[in-house]
Structure 1
Amino acid sequence: MDTEENPPRPLLLVDGANVVGSVPDGWWRDRRGAAERLRDRLAADGGPVDGPWPGPYEIVLVVEGRARGVASVPGVRVAEAAGSGDDLIAELARNAHGRPCLVITADRELRRRVEEAGARCAGPRALPRTTP
């Protein structure tokens, strides 16, 4: 239950395609595997290095296209976009209803959309680069 003493956890929305695509490590050969590695990294690290709110975060990794089929794990919910991952992220940010929301993406248009919904944004470098 969320109260003044126990406020809702901040929401962390991760643009999976954008974050995976920010590192030229061969991700294009196995998009689903790259999304799974990102999911596992998020589960191990718990969120951004220097986020605007103290954690823990509720983490949602948004995947699309050939990255679909990645299962959720404890600590990270995977949301599959039926179409555009950007559209799903913007919808999730709009539905945060005043809850602290941080979107990880470098996509300028998506940043504009989610900031209009009241979310904050950070680039892919805000996430730790450790591997589980």
Structure 2
Amino acid sequence: MTVLLVDAANVVGARPDGWWRDRVGAAGRLLDRLAGLPGRRIAGPDGEGVVCDGVVAVVEGAARDVPAPAGVRVERATGSGDDALAACAARLVADAVALLVVTADRGLRARLPAGTAVAGPTWLLALLDEIGRAPSA
């Protein structure tokens, strides 16, 4: 089982869909989509199947006040989102949580605990798009 730790600002910013006109709304839409992942078996970035045990999303700036949907734990950065995500990753790894961090930020990736699995926003957005097209059960 795996917990996804999502750099929400980085994922939102990965698609030029007008998110900059409504950062809070864009973050909320991402969190709503992430809420469908816990408990689901997904194809990991390496193609291997993993069970998503939980989702933690780090939000910052104007998006700090976005509501947390059921199924998503929201870490609200009071300062740097990168600092908050790196600290959260360290806590989860220390608790022996299998972790997959979603960010394209190279500087942030370098600050993660050694051996932390990382995927880019493109992988996550493609996964969420695929789930959104899947027929409901």
* TM above 0.5: yes
Pairwise mapping of residues 66-105 of structure 1 onto structure 2 (< 5 A)?
Answer: 66-96=62-92, 97=94, 98-105=96-103
Pairwise mapping of residues 13-28 of structure 1 onto structure 2 (< 5 A)?
Answer: 13-28=5-20
- Separation in 1 of the partners of 2:77 and 2:122? 23
Q: Which runs of 5+ in 1 are unaligned?
A: 1-8
Structure 1 residue 45 displacement after superposition: 3.9
Amino acid at match of 1:124: P
Higher strand share: 2
Matched with 2:119 is 122
- Separation in 2 of the partners of 1:12 and 1:53? 14
Identity %, equivalent residues: 50
Matched with 2:57 is 61
Q: In 2, are the aligned partners of 1:115 and 1:121 still within 8 Å (CA)? A: no
Amino acid at match of 2:119: A
Q: In 1, are the aligned partners of 2:42 and 2:49 still within 8 Å (CA)? A: no
Distance 1:44 1:56, change over 3 A: same
More deviation, 29-38/72-81: 72-81
Structure 1 residue 121 displacement after superposition: 0.4
TM-score (norm 1): 0.83
Q: In 1, are the aligned partners of 2:4 and 2:100 still within 8 Å (CA)? A: yes
1:6-60 deviation per Cα after TM superposition (whole angstroms, max 9, x unaligned): xxx4221100110000000010111000000100111124479522662132101
RMSD (CA atoms): 2.1
Any idea what SS the aligned residue of 1:77 has? strand
- Separation in 2 of the partners of 1:111 and 1:41? 23
4+ runs deviating over 6 angstroms? none
